[in-house]
Structure 1
């Protein structure tokens, strides 16, 4: 059903509860998961309010708003939201999963900027949630995704930012080892003004892919610098010198063009993702990645194998704790493949094989937005035991009749999780 107000959302949840069915929520289709049988799907696209408060540098948005609109409207006042790498995704899903974007090492996790959340919980009640009003929900909704309710609006702080130095430089796949080695050596020296990631790409030969990258393997180094562009250019120089680029698009850019850094597709795709976290990038990890996804890995079926540097402001302690775990990891790992057609199962197996290959160097954890899944085994990796137990307790309080589809994996994960000695 299409919701035009919080009352519509509450009515849908109450109807589902009285008829013994579950409720799910969608806006864009990004991050969609399967198993929606016996689910009443609530679409939030009509909840599209947006008001920027420039004097106090914050914004109120409805659950139907996407990041690109906030980027454009905030820029009028010299302000910016901490959007993710794809401005085409919805705001609510990104923020409730934490939100670690292209400038995260400088400004931190986007969910830490939230002032208030308006939500209809699983008992069908509308609640306004702040650090002092329903503080238990304020903790849970920032990192707990949609397990406690359907968010109808959110208010969060903006930052004063108009331009950054950034973009991406692409290298030929044959130079993957040199580029990876250079990036791994360069990252520890990067101060908090810089945020970076690296990705091994195998992009299809289709019209929307630049001809320099289409139908071939390449390596992308992404970079965002907050501060003097001349300093950013100097800091990024070692990466530009790592090998001859096949395509370089790095320089001063409006923050509203944030999508240029990762160049994520704007439309949802039927993807399979495998995510992990690492505390270091040593030679053994790099060798494993090259063996599994480098130029000699003819059986690699992943469109992208990516590592993002974390640290900096991501790991800083915040005034208000949240359900986002594992923010002290140094790097995140993510592979993305398209499990479609006759090779679908092979694509999934390949992703899992790569994951097992690097497993000895992973922390055992994942981040919510990088591991969108209704598999309780994935949920166990997303939250530590204490957080999982607290989320499950809150679900029992605010969704006693088990109406929310997003809450089920939390309940199931708790049964799998074994307390530490």
Structure 2
């Protein structure tokens, strides 16, 4: 950091490389933390110490023998620290809130080259900003987080033919209005390739998939809650009691990298007209193939954390995420398709977006929408304190603003 700042070089920070925001730049410095991989579990305190380059699957397997689980995401191969700093929307979030809500402390190297141990009582402004501000304020080298008393999850996926998308989406929205906070779910419209690794009912066709993760609680209650969805008659049903170490199989996110363009929007309450707009522009007959996912929010995600942080848009009821692989269509065609879709969804949008799902050409101009206006102003002020030269700018950038309390 001192080398970069002394020479006026911009700095990007990269953990596992899952996101595309942190990139090397001509005349810049890329700091990769992938080699800093370690986990320590304190079973009595129900906490984990996690080094900067650690992936969630390492934390999950380290915590499991103590009967504990982290608030990890759907993809266990994602870096734990960067995921958490961006908010952290995971498999257990409706019950417990965002991963950022359960951080105990952070070790961070700021733009002045200082290693700081940051807690709610020690540099509370920086502690607030890091949890939601991602890599705008320094290089986080480790974090201490809460673990949850979860060993198993009732979960899996229900798969339906895309021809029934309208009925399944409508039934899903009606169902989510009735479930308790411990029921986490999403619905996705996916075009799966025709290859042997894909299960036969899904291979080479468009499908609608409802992903389920019920925890904590009695798995029998989870099974009872999904009865209305099972009565729809899925092509495939993998719902069962899973050890949390196998929870990554629910979404079964691809591990191999791929070139994609994606967009995201936080939405309020939805009805038939909203579903019609999604299916008309991103359904199985759309000229550009997409993965379209609608995540059910609310519950613990809507509640303010015990220690406030910068994660915004807690009033949203759903999150819409659209991902398109560039090799299937040109980037220009994909971007036009995304623009049409999100314009059509504007009547149901809260105006916000989720930082960890921002990728693609327009991500830089959308950062402000991840926060409330007051929180964004506070973040720019703290940026002026901790990184006044905007050294950390090869990212989802928050530029320096007016120093808090200054003229």
TM-score of the alignment, normalized to the shorter chain, above 0.5: yes
Is residue 324 of structure 1 aligned with residue 296 of structure 2?
A: no
Is residue 384 of structure 1 aligned with residue 375 of structure 2?
A: no
Compared with structure 1, are the counterparts of its residues 407 and 174 closer, same or farther at alpha carbon in structure 2 (3 Å cutoff)?
A: closer
> CA shift at 1:407, angstroms?
6.4
> CA shift at 1:406, angstroms?
4.4
Q: What SS does the corresponding residue of 2:12 show, helix, strand or coil?
A: strand
Is residue 411 of structure 1 aligned with residue 399 of structure 2?
A: yes
Query: What CA distance in whole angstroms lies between the structure 2 residues aligned with 1:280 and 1:367?
Result: 17
Compared with structure 1, are the counterparts of its residues 54 and 408 closer, same or farther at alpha carbon in structure 2 (3 Å cutoff)?
A: closer
Q: Is the 8 A contact 1:222 1:262 kept in 2?
A: yes
- Residue matched to 1:160: 149
> CA shift at 1:405, angstroms?
2.3
- Residue matched to 1:206: 195
Per-residue CA shift, 1:373-413, capped at 9, x if unaligned? 6744211211222111111111111112321124673128x
- Residue matched to 2:174: 185
- Residue matched to 1:309: 296
Per-residue CA shift, 1:230-253, capped at 9, x if unaligned? 2111100111112x3222111111
The CA RMSD over aligned residues, in Å, is 1.8
Q: Is the 8 A contact 1:60 1:155 kept in 2?
A: yes
Is residue 233 of structure 1 aligned with residue 220 of structure 2?
A: no
Per-residue CA shift, 1:93-147, capped at 9, x if unaligned? 1000111111111111111110000000122111000000110011001001111
Q: Is the 8 A contact 1:200 1:305 kept in 2?
A: yes
- Residue matched to 2:254: 265
Q: What SS does the corresponding residue of 2:201 show, helix, strand or coil?
A: coil
Query: What CA distance in whole angstroms lies between the structure 1 residues aligned with 2:287 and 2:187?
Result: 21
- Residue matched to 2:334: 347
Compared with structure 1, are the counterparts of its residues 327 and 358 closer, same or farther at alpha carbon in structure 2 (3 Å cutoff)?
A: same
Q: Is the 8 A contact 2:10 2:394 kept in 1?
A: no
2:136 to 143, 147, 152: 147
> CA shift at 1:289, angstroms?
1.1
Query: What CA distance in whole angstroms lies between the structure 1 residues aligned with 2:196 and 2:117?
Result: 46
Q: Is the 8 A contact 2:268 2:350 kept in 1?
A: yes
Q: Which runs of 5+ in 1 are unaligned?
A: 1-12, 416-421
Q: What SS does the corresponding residue of 2:238 show, helix, strand or coil?
A: strand
Query: What CA distance in whole angstroms lies between the structure 2 residues aligned with 1:368 and 1:408?
Result: 8
Is residue 356 of structure 1 aligned with residue 356 of structure 2?
A: no
Compared with structure 1, are the counterparts of its residues 342 and 78 closer, same or farther at alpha carbon in structure 2 (3 Å cutoff)?
A: closer
Q: Is the 8 A contact 2:288 2:333 kept in 1?
A: no
Query: What CA distance in whole angstroms lies between the structure 1 residues aligned with 2:329 and 2:190?
Result: 21
Compared with structure 1, are the counterparts of its residues 375 and 184 closer, same or farther at alpha carbon in structure 2 (3 Å cutoff)?
A: closer
Compared with structure 1, are the counterparts of its residues 31 and 293 closer, same or farther at alpha carbon in structure 2 (3 Å cutoff)?
A: same
2:385 to 397, 410, 417: 397
> CA shift at 1:342, angstroms?
5.9
Query: What CA distance in whole angstroms lies between the structure 2 residues aligned with 1:408 and 1:46?
Result: 23
TM-score, normalized by length of structure 1? 0.91
> CA shift at 1:336, angstroms?
0.5
TM-score, normalized by length of structure 2? 0.94
2:2 to 5, 14, 28: 14
Compared with structure 1, are the counterparts of its residues 342 and 330 closer, same or farther at alpha carbon in structure 2 (3 Å cutoff)?
A: closer
Q: Is the 8 A contact 1:123 1:401 kept in 2?
A: no
